[in-house]
Amino acid sequence: MAQFKELVFSGVQPTGNLHLGNYLGAIKRFVAMQENYGCIYCVVDMHAITMPQNPTDLIRQIREVTAAFLAAGINPERHIVFNQSQVPQHAELAWVFNCVARLGWLNRMTQFKDKAGKDRENASVGLYAYPNLMAADILVYRATHVPVGEDQKQHLELTRDIAQKFNNDWAESIAAQGFGDAFFPLTEPMIQGPATRVMSLRDGSKKMSKSDPSDYSRINLTDDADTIAQKVRKAKTDPEPLPSEVDGLKARPEAENLVAIYAALMDTTPEEVLRQHGGAQFSGFKAALVDVAVTKLSPVADEMRRLMADPGHIDAVLADGSARARALASVTMDAVKDIVGFVRSR
C-alpha cells in the first residue's frame, strides 16, 4: 500500500445547543490532536440538511460550532477550520462515491434506520447516502486518521470499503497516473479515551442530547458557572457511596457517568478518580465535580459568547479555512477526474 502523509480530519454537525457530550466526545479531543498532527476541522453543514433546518438557525449554529472550536483552543492559523459547504469538492467526490458504494453496504447502516424510523419511504435520499458524503469529507483530503465515537465506527468502515474498492476498480489508471498501488488511504480510527459517550445527567442509560426535554439532563457549553453548578448538584445518583474499584460502577450508570465526566475533564482515568474519591458520599464528590466543571468549562463558555458577538470574525476564519481547504481538495478532485476518465480544463 502506498505511503500517505499523516493527516487528521474531524467534523461536527451544526445542530445547535452544543453540550458537554460534544465537548468531551469531540471538541476537547480535537484540541489535543493538533499538537501531534496536521488537522482539518470541519463544520459539516451539508450533513445538517439531511434533516429539516431553519436557515436562520443553521447560520447561527455553524458559527456556534466554529466559536466552540476556537474557544476550546483550536488554532485556525496552524490548522484548517472551515465549513463544508464552502468546499464544493466534497459534493463532487460524494457523487463519485455514490457510484462506487453498493446498495447492500448502505442498507446495513444502522444510523439511517434509527434516524428514518418506521417511515423510511419518506426519508430523504441525502439521509440514506449520508455515509458516502462522510467518506468524501475524509478522503477528499486523503486523511489517514479520524476520531470517531461508537455511533460513527460503522461509517468509517464504509469509508475504508469505498477507498479499497476505488483503489481496486481503477488500479490500472491509478498506477498510470503515477500514484502507485493506491490513491486513497484506508483511514484509521483515532484511539479514544474516557467519556467518549457522555450520558444524561438525569438518566445514565441515555446519551446526553440536546433534544432531551429537560435542560437539567445536559450541561450546555454556553451555561454560566452558576448553571453548571446547579445541574451537577441536581444530577441523578444512587444512595451508595462511590466504590474504590471501577468494577463497583457496574449496574450503577449514573455513578459511572459522573466518574467518567470527572476523569475526562481532568485528563485522567476513572481508576485514578476512584483512588481519590472511593468511599465518598455523592454530596462531597459532586462538590469536587462542580469545581472541576466550572474551572474547565466557564472559560470556554465566556469565550464562545465573546466570539458569537462578533460574527464577522467567525466568518473570516471560515473563509480563510475554506480557501485553504479548497486548495487541498481541488488537487485530490483533479486527480480523481483523471483517474476515472473525465475530461477537464487544465
Active site residues: 115, 207, 210
Residue 14 is assigned to a ligand binding site: yes
Specify which residues 115 forms β-bridges with.
Answer: none
Q: How far apart are CA 310 and CA 73, in angstroms?
A: 17
150 is in an annotated binding site: yes
User: CA nearest 95: which of 333, 338, 345, 335?
Assistant: 333
The one-letter amino acid code at 184 reads: F
CA distance 47 to 134: 8
Q: Which of 69, 88, 85 is nearest to 77 (CA)?
A: 69
On whether 207 is known to bind a ligand per the annotation, the reply is yes
- Is residue 137 a known part of a binding site? yes
Strands 39-43 and 145-147 come out as unpaired
270 is in an annotated binding site: no
- Is 208 a known ligand-binding residue? yes
Contact 294, 229 (CB under 8 A): yes
Residue 10 C-alpha cell reads as 474531524
- 15 belongs to an annotated ligand binding site: yes
Q: Is 21 annotated as a binding residue?
A: yes
Q: How many residues does the chain have?
A: 346
Cβ–Cβ < 8 Å for 194, 184: no
On whether 198 is known to bind a ligand per the annotation, the reply is yes
Nearest to 130 by CA among 150, 147, 113: 113
Say if residues 20 and 297 touch (Cβ distance below 8 Å).
yes
Cite the annotated binding site by residue number.
13-15, 21-22, 137, 149-151, 198, 207-211
Cite the annotated binding site for L-tryptophan by residue number.
137
